[in-house]
Amino acid sequence: MSSARDGVSWGTMISGYVHNGFFARALDLFDAMRIANVKLNPVAVLGALKAAGEIPDLDRGEDVHNYSVRNGLIFDIEVNTALVIMYAKCGATEKAKAVFANIHEKDVVAWSAIISSFAQNGSPKQALLFLKEMQVQGVKPNRITLVSALPACAELSDIRLGKSIHCFMFKSDMILDGSVSPALIAMYCKCESFGLARAVFDRLNSKDVVAWNALINGYTQIDEPLEALQLFRQLRMTGKIPDCATFVAVLPAFALLSDLKEGASVHGMTIKYGFHSDLRVKNATLDLYAKCGDVQTSHKLFAERKACADIVSWNTMIAGYMHNGQVKQAMVIFHQMMFEYIKPNLVSLVSIIPAAACLVSLRDGFALHCYVVKSGFVSDVRIGNSLIDMYSKCGRLDCAQTFFDQMTQKDTTSWNSMLSGYSINGLNHKAISLFSQMENDAIEVDALTYLGVLSACRHGGLVAKGRETFDSMIHKKGLRPNVKHYACMVDLLGRAGQLDEAWRLIQKMPIDPDASVWGSLLGACRMHGNSKLGEMVLEQLARLAPNEGTLCGAL
C-alpha cells in the first residue's frame, strides 16, 4: 500500500468523524496518523483543525498548526483559512489575526471566514473592520460574506450598517436567495426594528423553517410570548416540520408566561420529534421548568443525563434554583460543578455570587472572589458589581470599598451597589456624599441610585435631604418614582412626625400604593399616637388583596 493512498484514507476517516460530531476521536486519529508517520494531506489537516475549533482545544489546534508547518502545508490557502477559524473559535483572537495577515492572496472565502469567526466570537467590531478592509483591498463580498457580517451588526445594534447591507443584497439580487433572510430577520429583531423584520418575513415567497425560527425567537426576545406562540401555531398549520431551533425559540415563551401546563406539552412534542436529546433543546427545557416554578423537574431532567450536560445546563440549574429562592441548592450545584472539573464561566459567576450575598456567607464570598481573580473575570464590570454587593451584604464594607476603588471601569450599577452598601450598613452620610460625587463626576444616575439615597435619608432621619432628593429625582432628572421610592418617603416623613405630608404624598401618588406604603404610614401613626389617621390607613390596608406584601414590620 502506498503511503500517499494511506494518508488519503486517514484523512477521509478524520473528516468522517468531524462530520458526525466526533471531534475528540478525529483528533486522536490525527495523532495516531502522525505517530504512524503517514504522509500528511490537506484533508486530514482540515478535519483536525475543524475538530480542534469545535471542541475547542487550543493546545491540540496549535499542534496541528505546527505539524502542518513542518510538513509544508502552510502555503495552502484552505489550510490557512481553517487555521484562522480554529484560532478564532478557541478564543485566540490575536493568533487568528496573525495567520490571516500572512495569507498572501486573500480570497473571498478567507475574508468571509475571518468575518464570520469574529462576528461569532464576541468581536463584532473587529468583524466589521475586516469587512471594510476587504472592500478597501478590492475584494468583492458575496452573499456568504454579508450574511456573516449581519450578526455583527445585530450585536452592535448597528441598524444603519445592517440596512445598507440589506440594500446591497437587494441590488445584487441576493435577496431572492431565501437563505439570506433569516440573518436579516434576526438582525432587525435585535435592532428592535420589528416592522422591518416582519416585512422581510412577509415578502418571502417560500418561507424556510429557519426564517420562522428567526421571527419566533425575535418575539420571545422582546417578551412577546403570545405573538411567538401564534407564529408557532401558524408554522405548524403550514405543515412544515419544526426543527430543534424552533423549540429552542418557542420554549422560552412558555417560561415567560409561566405556563407550566402548555410548556410541558411542548416538551412532550420535542420528545415526539426526537429533539429532546439536542443539548440546546434540553437546556431550554430545563429553563422552562425552572422559570415555571418547577425546579424539581428541571433537576430530574438534568440529573438523568448529567454526563451530557454542558456549561449552559449547569448555569441554567444554578439560575433556576436562584429564581426559585432555593439559594442553598444553587450553591450545591455550583460546588458539584467545581467538583466535576466543569469550569464556571462568566454567567456561572454572575449567577452564583448573589447566592453568597443572600446566604450572608463570607466564606463562599471570599472563595468566589478568589475564583474570579484566578479565572481572569475580575475586570468584568458585572462581576465586580456583584462582588461589591456581596461584600456589603456580608457586612464587609471595607472589602466592598477596596474593590470599588480599584475598579478601572465603573458603570451606574457599580456606583449604585456601593451607595446602597453604605445605606444598608448605616453609613448614611457616606451614601449621600457618594451621590454628590456621582453628580459632580457626571455619572449617569437612575431610579436605583435614588432609592439608595432615599434609604440612607430614611435610616438617618434626614428629612430635608430626603425631600430635596425626591424632588430632584422627579423634576431635575425626570425619573418616575416607583412604589419603593414612595414607601421610603412615607416612612421618612412619618417617622419625623410629618403625618399630614406623608398622607398627602400618598394621595398624590400616580400609582397604587401597596402594603409597604400603607404599612409605613400605619407604623408612623402608632409611633406618634395618631389613631384617627391610623384607622383610615387600616381600612385601606384591609382593602388590599390579602396576599399583598407583608405587614410584619408595621403591625
Instruction: State which amino acid sits at residue 80.
Output: N
**Going by C-beta distance under 8 Å and a sequence separation of 6 or more, which residues neighbour residue 444?**
412
Min CB(235)–DNA separation in Å: 11
Under 8 Å between Cβ of 61 and 27: no
Cβ nearer to DNA, comparing 263 with 519: 263
Min CB(251)–DNA separation in Å: 8
318, with CB counted inside 10 A (0-12, 13-18, 19+), is buried
Cα(82)–Cα(547) distance, rounded to whole angstroms? Answer: 60
- The candidate with the shortest Cα–Cα distance to 64, out of 30, 32, 36, 39, is 30
Report cis status (omega within 30 of 0) of the bond before 56.
yes
Cα(151)–Cα(158) distance, rounded to whole angstroms? Answer: 10
Cβ nearer to DNA, comparing 19 with 300: 19
531, with CB counted inside 10 A (0-12, 13-18, 19+), is exposed
The CA distances from residue 288 to 313, 319, 444, in Å, are: 12, 12, 35
Cβ nearer to DNA, comparing 154 with 432: 154
Cα(443)–Cα(452) distance, rounded to whole angstroms? Answer: 15
**Going by C-beta distance under 8 Å and a sequence separation of 6 or more, which residues neighbour residue 368?**
349, 352, 353, 356, 387, 390
Min CB(340)–DNA separation in Å: 16
Min CB(52)–DNA separation in Å: 14
Cβ nearer to DNA, comparing 215 with 432: 215
Min CB(310)–DNA separation in Å: 7
What number of other Cβ atoms are within 10 A of residue 339's Cβ? 8
Cβ nearer to DNA, comparing 86 with 456: 86
Under 8 Å between Cβ of 555 and 522: yes
550, with CB counted inside 10 A (0-12, 13-18, 19+), is exposed
Min CB(520)–DNA separation in Å: 28
500, with CB counted inside 10 A (0-12, 13-18, 19+), is exposed
Cβ nearer to DNA, comparing 417 with 530: 417
**Going by C-beta distance under 8 Å and a sequence separation of 6 or more, which residues neighbour residue 436?**
none
Q: Which of 387-419 are b and which e, b meaning 16 or more Cβ less than 10 Å from the residue's Cβ?
A: bbbbbbbbebbebbbebbeebeebeebbbbbbb
Cβ nearer to DNA, comparing 260 with 541: 260
Min CB(382)–DNA separation in Å: 6
**Going by C-beta distance under 8 Å and a sequence separation of 6 or more, which residues neighbour residue 447?**
473, 479, 480, 481, 482, 485
Cβ nearer to DNA, comparing 266 with 496: 266
Cβ nearer to DNA, comparing 155 with 491: 155
Min CB(268)–DNA separation in Å: 17
Min CB(351)–DNA separation in Å: 4
Min CB(256)–DNA separation in Å: 9
Min CB(179)–DNA separation in Å: 4
The CA distances from residue 514 to 392, 490, 498, in Å, are: 28, 12, 20
Cβ nearer to DNA, comparing 269 with 279: 279
Cβ nearer to DNA, comparing 294 with 514: 294
* Furthest CA-CA distance within the chain: 104
Min CB(354)–DNA separation in Å: 7
Cβ nearer to DNA, comparing 353 with 457: 353
Under 8 Å between Cβ of 64 and 30: yes
